[in-house]
Structure 1
């Protein structure tokens, strides 16, 4: 995994986690009984986005470390997801070692 793919993996994990964390502990105008005229009652009054962004960063970092470990260790490879054998046969040990001259 290169630096670019590591950054992209972290960004994807961060945004997916953020979308899960956003609805937790949100206080709407309807919950507080202070509805501003012209807005919906479900509009957020206290959203705590800075705190949620830090929580998201912590969770995404842990998930990224787990994913990076799985990728670098070789526990899962692309061939493990080749259900239709489109990558061809796996190379044998003789094919992967260069011949001596």
Structure 2
């Protein structure tokens, strides 16, 4: 596995994990007691907590990338054949 392949695999894992953790701990405006912004869409989240989710996605992607890289480098699956 070369560096470009490793980076591409990490980016793919990061996006998959980010999209997976994005809906975690979301409370929409109609569920909240104080919706905050007048005229906002009732389905919009009150506090999306994006920084926390970005860090969580980064950690999850790092673990998934490490597992993927170790499987590729160990030769368990030979992608060259």
Pair in the same fold by TM > 0.5: yes
Please, which runs of 5 or more residues in structure 2 have no aligned partner? none
| Structure of higher RCO (CA pairs closer than 8 Å, 6+ residues apart) | 2
CA deviation map 1:25-81 (0-9, x unaligned): 0121111142631x32111110000000001111100000000000000001226xx
Give the structure with the larger strand fraction: 1
Please, which runs of 5 or more residues in structure 1 have no aligned partner? 80-86, 88-101
> Within 5 A, what are the aligned runs for 1:56-75?
56-75=57-76
Structure whose alpha-carbon radius of gyration is higher:
1
TM-score, length-normalised on structure 1? Answer: 0.72
Distance (whole Å) between structure 2 residues aligned to residue 25 and residue 58 of structure 1: 18
TM-score, length-normalised on structure 2? Answer: 0.89
Runs of 4 or more consecutive aligned structure 1 residues displaced over 3 Å after TM superposition: none
- Pairs aligned (count): 79
CA RMSD between the two structures = 1.5
Distance (whole Å) between structure 2 residues aligned to residue 46 and residue 30 of structure 1: 13
